[in-house]
């Protein structure tokens, strides 16, 4: 197993370079740079003073942090200008000992930051929440204007975020702000602008542990724009909700590339060790028609450290009597991408590790009009609580996936899962894939299913699927 893992982690970073260069924030006319010469929170030479000066300029004022001291702040560092904001550190830490957002860009300006660390007070958990007054502090927050057009860029290089109660990094193009909601059910409207986020050598860990549904990096995109996300050699670890969550809720596509990333141990703000005792004595049940009414079921959970952590699902017979119900604790993923409305979902993961996440390792969902085009290359998922790699397509579009030199081991669900729930075709090709020990080992290595009227094909080449194949309305072609 060790030999396989080392091979899967071999570098392919060079292939990402053209993408990274293409997404770099465009140069802009600049005024004289601003120097941060002290670690003080306020006053001449402070980071806060530099941001205030830059906010008043219509041209970019690059900020160079030249002090050797870390920067301790009491309140949020704010940039209210519209010119691109460029911040150049040299390994310093911006540290807030209070539960506040560390850096906020309020007018949708492009942002680039290099060689700087952002650290909140830490110590958060479901039993020591940070959202008692508001949503809790974030690391970096970029808010897109309601009327913004074009493309909003964020580029981070050699940046880390840790210890904040809420999202580590949040880019919001949603008029509902933090109430925008995640996943396909998220609401709100947004600007016509698209969002490009580029992360290089970024580390986000131990964030989102003080609030419900708080992610390592969260991108909310509403309106007609796209999300383009490129992450190279970055780590998302011990995040309360998803390590990465990208939500595209209206017209527009998602284009995501993760190269040499690690998604480790994310998703346990709703800590099962603490919350399990709040589940009803009978957390699930299945009944014949006429046997059980909704009034007979256990009530929704109340009185826990955070009642939002409990999901209560009920399905009914046509008569209105209960067919089945289930209570569960809401856990989260290593990386979660949702594309709703008209638009495609195009995702490539290369040389990445997805381990120990409390729900799916990789959870990709495309619904409504548009296709899902997925590539997993030289990556592995192991010991995730649910599926290792999961993709669903539920609209009229097609699902196409290529899986090359991938391992999926000892996940609580399927090693790999691809579901076409709409009318489109599902075409999955796997080459040199290894699966073992997933779920109960009974046809749980890879599942490919089709529910609509389209066609489905799973092509298997030079693969070792020790725990088998679950093919539903799909032709399996085994290339010898």
In sequence order, the 6+-apart residues with CB closer than 8 A to the CB of 17 are none
**Residues 82, 63: Cα–Cα separation, whole Å:** 15
pLDDT, position 22: 39
In sequence order, the 6+-apart residues with CB closer than 8 A to the CB of 299 are none
Note the pTM of the prediction, 2 decimals: 0.92
CB 344 within 8 A of CB 253: yes
**Residues 211, 270: Cα–Cα separation, whole Å:** 9
**Residues 96, 119: Cα–Cα separation, whole Å:** 6
Main-chain dihedrals φ then ψ at residue 269, nearest 5 degrees: -55, -45
DSSP secondary structure of 356-370: S-SS-SEEEEE-SSS
**Residues 44, 67: Cα–Cα separation, whole Å:** 13
pLDDT, position 186: 64
pLDDT, position 6: 38
**Residues 334, 244: Cα–Cα separation, whole Å:** 7
Q: What is the pLDDT along the chain (480 residues), one digit of tens a residue?
A: 333 333 333 333 333 333 333 344 445 566 799 999 999 999 999 999 999 999 999 999 999 999 999 999 999 999 999 999 999 999 999 999 999 999 999 999 999 999 999 999 999 999 999 998 888 999 999 999 999 999 999 999 999 999 999 999 999 999 888 888 765 556 788 999 999 999 999 999 999 999 999 999 999 999 899 999 999 999 999 999 999 999 999 889 999 999 999 999 999 999 999 999 999 999 999 999 999 999 999 999 999 999 999 999 999 999 999 999 999 999 999 999 999 989 999 999 999 999 999 999 999 999 988 999 999 999 999 999 999 999 999 988 999 999 999 999 999 999 999 999 988 999 999 999 999 999 999 999 999 999 977 789 999 999 999 999 999 999 999 986
How far is residue 476 from each of residues 437, 467, 470, measured CA to CA in Å?
21, 16, 10
């Amino acid at each position: 197993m060790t030999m396989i893992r080392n091979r899967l982690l071999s570098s392919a970073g060079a292939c990402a370079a053209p993408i990274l260069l293409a997404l770099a924030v465009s140069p802009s006319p600049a005024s004289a740079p601003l120097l941060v010469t002290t670690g003080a929170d306020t006053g001449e030479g402070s980071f806060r003073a530099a941001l205030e000066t830059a906010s008043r300029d219509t041209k970019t004022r690059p900020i160079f942090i030249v002090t050797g001291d870390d920067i301790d702040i009491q309140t949020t560092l704010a940039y209210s200008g519209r010119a691109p904001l460029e911040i150049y550190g040299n390994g310093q830490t911006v540290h807030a000992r209070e539960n506040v957002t560390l850096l906020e860009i309020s007018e949708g300006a492009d942002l680039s930051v290099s060689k700087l660390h952002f650290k909140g007070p830490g110590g958060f958990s479901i039993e020591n929440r940070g959202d008692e007054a508001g949503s809790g502090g974030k690391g970096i927050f970029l808010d897109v204007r309601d009327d913004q057009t074009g493309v909003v860029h964020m580029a981070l290089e050699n940046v880390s975020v840790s210890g904040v109660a809420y999202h580590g990094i949040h880019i919001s193009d949603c008029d509902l702000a933090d109430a925008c909601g995640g996943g396909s059910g998220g609401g709100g409207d947004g600007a016509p602008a698209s969002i490009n986020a580029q992360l290089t050598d970024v580390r986000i860990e131990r964030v989102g542990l003080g609030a419900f549904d708080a992610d390592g990096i969260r991108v909310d995109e509403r309106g007609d724009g796209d999300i383009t996300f490129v992450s190279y050699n970055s780590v998302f670890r011990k995040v309360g909700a998803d390590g990465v969550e990208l939500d595209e809720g209206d017209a527009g596509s998602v284009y995501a590339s993760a190269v040499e990333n690690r998604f480790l141990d994310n998703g346990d703000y709703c800590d099962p060790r603490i919350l399990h005792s709040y589940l009803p004595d009978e957390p699930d049940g299945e009944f014949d028609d006429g046997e059980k009414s909704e009034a007979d079921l256990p009530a929704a959970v109340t009185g826990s450290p955070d009642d939002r952590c409990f999901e209560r699902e009920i399905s009914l017979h046509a008569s209105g009597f209960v067919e089945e119900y289930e209570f569960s604790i809401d856990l989260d993923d290593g990386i979660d991408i949702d594309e709703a409305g008209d638009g495609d979902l195009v995702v490539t993961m290369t040389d990445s590790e997805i381990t120990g996440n409390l729900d799916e390792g990789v959870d990709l969902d495309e619904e409504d009009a548009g296709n899902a085009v997925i590539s997993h290359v030289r990556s592995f998922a192991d010991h995730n609580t649910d599926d290792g790699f999961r993709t669903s397509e539920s609209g009229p579009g097609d699902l196409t996936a290529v899986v090359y030199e991938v391992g999926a081991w000892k996940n609580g669900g399927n090693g790999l899962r691809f579901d076409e729930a709409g009318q489109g075709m599902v075409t999955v090709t796997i080459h040199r894939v290894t699966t073992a020990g997933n779920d109960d080992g009974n046809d749980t290595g890879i599942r490919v299913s089709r529910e609509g009227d389209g066609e489905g094909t799973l092509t298997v080449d030079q693969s070792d699927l020790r725990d088998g194949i679950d093919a539903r309305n799909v032709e399996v072609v085994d290339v010898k």
